[in-house]
């Protein structure tokens, strides 16, 4: 192998390794990241590490401050999570409707292929599954934004770094499978070019994704809300399926689950 691809492969490996540590909280959210220490641990020179950190900064997983260097991005708190989902719920149902209207059957092949691939992954709640789903979910939503034909909307959504943040919060067995099934239903609506159903199903998916993350975000520093978060967490684990009230009312075709 020549030097250039070798260097590229090394850069990719360093990036993957640091990303996994961040998602895994092996590098604590908010903690300082020392380039020399990391370089020693990974037995690489600081150059591929700097490249990896720049990529992770663009993804919102690390923060660079002048003089202070790199730190792992802090976790979203409950309010950040609410704000993030508010923006997503305002934009993404409309994006899905546009995609349903504009996309031709052959444009949907990639989405279908990805879902077929995810169907083969065993949902065991492991970190490996998490990383694969993180990738799949981000790609799925980005492709729908691309199919909407509105480049600015696509960039706006990408800049939220929603997936990188969400999946650092919480992940357990069953979440990947629920996500995949909701994605399948969105794809079905896109295939049928049913704009209203596509928008409604995207809304339902985001509400449920939000519910799956309830209790995972750091509660706001008040006792009453701490308690509410605990209660919400218990209720969610007790329920085999998302509560009916979380469904978008006009998605009349929605099956539970």
Query: Which residue ranges make up the site for Zn ion (CB under 5 A)?
Result: 137
**Residue 62 or 141: which CB sits closer to Zn ion?**
141
Q: Is the dihedral of CA 207, 211, 213, 217 positive or negative?
A: positive
Residue (222 or 255) nearer to Zn ion, CB:
255
CB of 168 to Zn ion, least distance (A): 16
Give min distance, CB of 133 to Zn ion, in A.
9
Least Cα distance to 121 among 67, 197, 183 occurs for 183
Phi-psi region of 21 (alpha: psi -120 to 50; beta: other; left: phi over 0): alpha
- Interior angle at CA 91, CA 90 and CA 94, nearest 5: 105
What does the buried/exposed string (b/e) look like for 234-253 if buried means 16 or more CB atoms within 10 Å of the residue's CB? Answer: eebeeeeebeeeebbeebee
Of the pair 48, 136, the CB lying nearest Zn ion is at 136
- Separation CA 221–CA 213 (nearest Å): 18
Q: Closest residue (Cβ) to Zn ion?
A: 137
Q: How many helices (H) and strands (E) does the chain have?
A: 11, 3
Q: How far is the CB of 138 from Zn ion (least distance, A)?
A: 9
Nearest distance from residue 186's CB to Zn ion, in Å? Answer: 8
CB of 206 to Zn ion, least distance (A): 8
For Zn ion, give the closer residue by CB, 49 or 100: 100
Identify the CA nearest to 187 among candidates 107, 117, 244, 130: 107
CB-wise, 137 or 251, nearer to Zn ion?
137
């Amino acid at each position: 192998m020549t030097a250039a691809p070798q260097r590229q492969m090394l850069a990719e490996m360093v990036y993957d390794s640091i990303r996994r540590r961040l998602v895994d909280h092996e590098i604590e959210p908010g903690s300082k990241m020392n380039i020399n220490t990391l370089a020693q641990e990974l037995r690489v020179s600081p150059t591929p590490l700097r490249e990896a950190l720049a990529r992770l900064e663009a993804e919102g997983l690390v923060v660079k401050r002048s003089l202070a260097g790199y730190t792992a991005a802090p976790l979203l708190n409950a309010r950040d999570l609410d704000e993030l989902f508010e923006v997503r719920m305002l934009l993404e149902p409309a994006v899905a409707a546009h995609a349903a209207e504009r996309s031709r059957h052959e444009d949907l092949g990639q989405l279908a292929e990805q879902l077929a691939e995810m169907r083969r992954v065993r949902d065991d709640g492991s970190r490996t599954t998490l990383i694969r789903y993180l990738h799949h979910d981000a790609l799925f939503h980005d492709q729908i934004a691309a199919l909407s034909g509105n480049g600015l909307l696509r960039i706006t959504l990408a800049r939220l770094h929603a997936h990188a943040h969400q999946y650092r919060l919480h992940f357990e067995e069953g979440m990947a499978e629920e996500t995949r099934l909701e994605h399948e239903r969105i794809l079905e609506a896109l295939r049928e070019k049913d704009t209203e159903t596509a928008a409604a199903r995207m809304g339902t998916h985001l509400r449920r994704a939000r519910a799956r993350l309830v209790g995972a975000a750091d509660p706001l520093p008040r006792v009453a809300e701490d308690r509410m978060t605990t209660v919400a967490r218990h209720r969610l684990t007790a329920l085999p399926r998302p509560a009916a009230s979380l469904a978008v009312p006009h998605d009349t075709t929605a099956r539970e689950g």
